[in-house]
Amino acid sequence: MKSDPAGTVNPWRFIPLLYFMQAVPVTLVQDVATVVYKDLGIANESITRWTSLIALPWSLQMILGPLVDLNGTKRRWIAGGQLAIAAGLILAAFALGTPRAFELSLVILGFTAVASALTNIATDGFVILSTTKNQQAKFAGFMSTFYRLGRLFGASLLVFLAGVLMRSMPAGQAWPIVFFLGTAVYGLAHLGLRPLLPRPEADIVKGDRAETSITLRQTVALLGTALGGYFTINAIVRLVAHALAVNFDIMPGWRLPEDNRIPQLMGTVEGGQIGSPVMTEVAQLVVAGTVAVLSVSAAIRWIRGREMGNALGSFFAQERVAAILFFILFYRFGEAMVGKITPLFLKDALDKGGLGIGNEQLGLLSGGVGVVGIILGGITGGWVVSKIGLRRAFIPLALAMHVPNILYLLASYRLLPMQAYDLPWLGPLSPMLGGMLFVDQFGYGFGFAGYMIYLMWVAQRGNFVTSHYAIGTGLGALCIAIAGILSGVVQANFGYSGVFWAVLVGSIPGLLALLWIPLEDAHRSIKVSVE
C-alpha cells in the first residue's frame, strides 16, 4: 500500500482525534473511576489504593516503549490498541452492573490502562514519523488542547450525565449507561479516524525475531523489578503500620482488615478464606521480594551493554542525581495527595466530613472549571518561565502549586462560605467552591509547568534525551501513585482535615528540593505543554 512521506499529510486530518481519544481512557481510569466507586459505596482507602495501582501502566511507558518500537508499525499499534480500549470500556460497563462490580471492573480497567499506555507510546511516535519538525512545533499546543477536550468529555460531561441519570435510578444502573455512551463516542471516533491515519514511510517494523526476544526479556525483567519492588515495600509498610496500631493502640485505620486473607481455592472453611491478615502480607512480602530479587538479577544481565542499560546508567550517573531524584519524587507529592482525595472530599456527606455535592456539580466544577484552570495555569506558567527563566521563577511556581491547598483545609473545617444557588437542570452551585477549584487547578498548572520544563532540561544533559525524559516522568508518576494511596490511609485515620494537613507537610520536601537541584538559565529555551 502506498506510503506517505513525512509532512505530506495535513496534521489537522488526524491529530485532533488522536489526542482527544488518548485522553479518554486515561481520564476514565484515573479520575472518573474514583467517582464511580464512591457512588457504589466503596471505602475511600480502597478507592485511593486500587485506582492508584491500576494507573501504574502509564508510569511504566518507558519500560513498555521498546515493545512498541520493535514489534509492528505504530499505525497498527494505534488501531489495535484503540479496539482493545473500546472492548475494555464495554466490559467495564457490564462489570459495573454485577454484584462484584468493584473487583471485576478494577481488573478490566487495569488491562485497559495497559492497552492505553501502549497506544499512547505508539501515538506519540506515529505523530513524529508523520510530521516535520516545523509541523510538530506548530501543533504542540493543539495536541494538548485536544487532549484536554478529551479530559473535559470524561471528567465533566460524563460525570454530569451520571448525576442526571442518578436522579431517577441507582448508581449501579446509571454508571453502566454512562460507560456505554462513552464507549460509543470513543468507538465512533475510532471508526472516523481509521481511514484518516496516514501511512508514514518511516513507520516500518524495526526488530527481527532475535531482537524482539531480547526486548521481551528486558521488558519482563524491568516490569518484574518495578512491580515486585512496589509490592515488597507495600507489604513491609503495611506490616509495620499494623504492628504499631496493634501494639500501641494508635491509628486504627492502619490495622490490616480482617478480610485481608488468602482465598480458599479447595475445600471449605468459614468465609472461604484461610490464614490471617498478617499471614497474607507475609506471603505477599515473600513472593514479591523473590520476584524483585530475581528480576533485578535478570535485568542487570539482559540490559547491560545495550541501549536500554546505557540509558538507565547514564541517567543515574549524572552529576547531583540524588538532588534531581529527590525533586522528581517530592515536588508534586502534596498536590498528588490532593488530586486523589479531592473528588471523595467533594462528594462525601457532610456528616462524614465532606461537602456533599452531587455528580452534576462535580462534573461542572471539578471537571469543567478545574480543567479550564489548569489550562490557563499551564499557559501562564510557561510564559513566565520564558520571560524570566526557571531559576527566578521556580519558587513562585512551586508556591502557586502548594499554597492554594490551604483552601481545602479551610473548607474541611467549614471556614469558607459555601452557599449554593439552585439553577435549572444544574442543581445547587456554590460560587466559592467553583472559585476554590479554579484557583487550585490554576496553581497546579502554573507550578506543573516548572516541573515539566525542568525534566526536559534534565533529559538533555545526556545522549539519551527521550529515555531520560521517560525515566523522569515515570519516576514522578510512580510517586504520585504512592501519594494517592497514602491519602486514603491518612483519611481513614484522621479524616479529611488530617489529609489536608498532611498535604501541606508533604509539600515542604518539594520546596526544599529547589535549594539543592542543579539549575541553569538554559531552561529559558525549553517550551512546555501541560496536560
- pLDDT, tens only, 438-490: 999 999 988 888 888 888 788 777 676 667 777 887 788 778 888 888 898 88
Domain harbouring 355, CATH code: 1.20.1250.20
> First vs last Cα of the chain: how many Å apart?
35
The angle subtended at Cα 226 by Cα 303 and Cα 316, nearest 5°, is 55
Asked whether residue 139 falls in the same domain as residue 212, the answer is no
Say whether both 214 and 342 belong to one domain. no
CB-CB contact of 326 with 513 (8 Å): yes
Residue type present at position 381: G
Range of the domain at 150: 1-207
201 lies in the same domain as 214: no
| Enclosing H/E stretch for 422 | strand 421-423
Instruction: Please count the structural domains in the chain.
Output: 3
Question: What is the three-class DSSP state of 131?
Answer: coil
Burial 355-366 (b: 16+ CB within 10 A, else e): bebbbbbbbbbb
Looking at the chain, the number of H-run helices and the number of E-run strands are: 21, 4
pLDDT at 529: 44
For residue 269, count other CB atoms closer than 10 A to its CB: 10
The grid coordinates of residue 511 equal 520546596
End of a domain among 175, 207, 239? 207
Decide if 451 contacts 331 (C-beta within 8 A).
Answer: yes
Residues 239 and 127 in one domain: no
pLDDT at 269: 45
* Rounded distance between C-alpha atoms, residue 488 and residue 484, angstroms: 7
Please count the CA atoms within 13 angstroms of the CA of 340 that sit on its side-chain side: 33
Residues 6+ apart with CB under 8 A from 328: 455, 472, 475, 476, 479
Task: For residues 29 and 164, give the distance between their C-alpha atoms in angstroms, rounded to a whole number.
Answer: 21
Last residue of a domain, one of 255, 279, 303: 303
Consecutive H or E run containing 412: helix 405-412
By the 10 Å C-beta count (0-12 exposed, 13-18 middle, 19+ buried), 335 is classed as buried
Residues 54 and 92 in one domain: yes
**In sequence order, which residues have a C-beta less than 8 Å from that of residue 283 and are 6 or more positions away?**
262, 275
> What pLDDT does 260 receive?
63
User: What is the structure's pLDDT at 270?
Assistant: 47
Which residue from 210, 208, 207, 220 is spatially nearest to 301, judged by alpha carbons?
220
| Domain match, 141 and 270 both | no
User: Are 331 and 203 members of one domain?
Assistant: no
Are residues 381 and 449 in contact, defined by beta-carbon separation less than 8 angstroms?
Answer: yes
Q: Are residues 400 and 531 in the same domain?
A: yes
The dihedral formed by the CA atoms of 475, 476, 482 and 483, expressed in degrees to the nearest 10:
160
If asked whether residues 108 and 240 sit together in one domain, one would say no
Cβ atoms 405, 440 nearer than 8 A: yes
pLDDT of residue 103: 92
Cβ atoms of residues 201 and 3 within 8 Å: yes
Q: Are residues 2 and 42 in the same domain?
A: yes
The pLDDT, as a whole number, for residue 266 is 40
312 and 290 fall within a common domain: no
Question: What is the predicted pLDDT for the residue at 527?
Answer: 47
* DSSP per residue, 51-116: HHHTTHHHHTHHHHHHHHHHSS-HHHHHHHHHHHHHHHHHHHHHHTTSTTHHHHHHHHHHHHHHHH
Q: Could you say which of 255, 281, 303 is where a domain stops?
A: 303
Is 473 found in the same domain as 358?
yes
| Single-letter amino acid, residue 75 | R
User: How do residues 379-405 score in pLDDT, each as one tens digit?
Assistant: 888 888 888 888 888 999 999 999 999
Answer whether 191's CB lies under 8 Å from 197's CB.
no
CA separation (Å) from 457 to 58, 452, 473, 521? Answer: 21, 9, 12, 10
Listed residue (418, 337, 338) closest to 370, CA to CA: 338
**Which residues of the chain fall short of a pLDDT of 50?**
264-272, 522-531
Residue 460, φ and ψ in degrees, nearest 5: -90, 10
